[in-house]
Structure 1
């Protein structure tokens, strides 16, 4: 099989953020790059934020750009917070067996919990109960709107902890 590379670029304030998903000789890579430079022919500096051969372990993530984008968000959060490979793999393992909304809630929750910054007081009883159910298994019943609100609350806490905007969120908003 030949080499294939899929690239998605997002322009924002003159900078270009790229997500690159490549398949090279049966080894898959997921790479996130920030590219500096405004002129097309100008010499550009490439800053590779992270590159790891992980997607070859997760066949179910490969088929959807939305899943790849969420995998990229998980990768960016773990990289920027120096959380380590175990947390990254835990988030990706959940992504491969459940839908994107529940997988993102699970990842944000365990991220906050393992970093010791999960504040139960910011969540009502129903939200805390749902988080515990999602942590134990992914068979839960909740409306899509409720899940979205919970995900956004958790994401806000994650962003506050990291202290910088998450570039890979732009991929999920497209």
Structure 2
């Protein structure tokens, strides 16, 4: 089991070229369920989603930032956002950790299902956030965290090189 999990983690990569193969609603719900299993402050599970299948919306979003062009080719986009007024902690800034954990669960589950993904950060860029809110009609009081492009890759893109971890034992500067 450990090896299977590590293999999925190693397999996950950012995909930027998607085929026109569709992703079913059942698959989308499976991915969102994986996100729901993420840890969060006081088990608040603050994330909410907009599922984006409409090509016009995907094109409009992808036009907001050059590196977001893969969204227009993806089968599905997800917009993750939170309502900080309902956040269960006085430390509202922790929502980003909650959403990052949920996002990683989605990305790893997609990799396990053979679905490619691309995480596109929105928060804390207020200008981008306002543009995304405008396109997707997200209420002003919500905070958009990210967009995720999902689909099947057209070609086997090379995975980015991973560095060796920098590790200290017991305190900063102490090697094993």
Q: Do Structure 1 and Structure 2 share a fold, with TM-score over 0.5?
A: no
The two structures have a TM-score, normalised by structure 1, of 0.21
The two structures have a TM-score, normalised by structure 2, of 0.21
- Relative contact order (alpha carbons < 8 A, sep ≥ 6): 1 or 2 greater? 2
Bigger fraction of residues in strand: 1
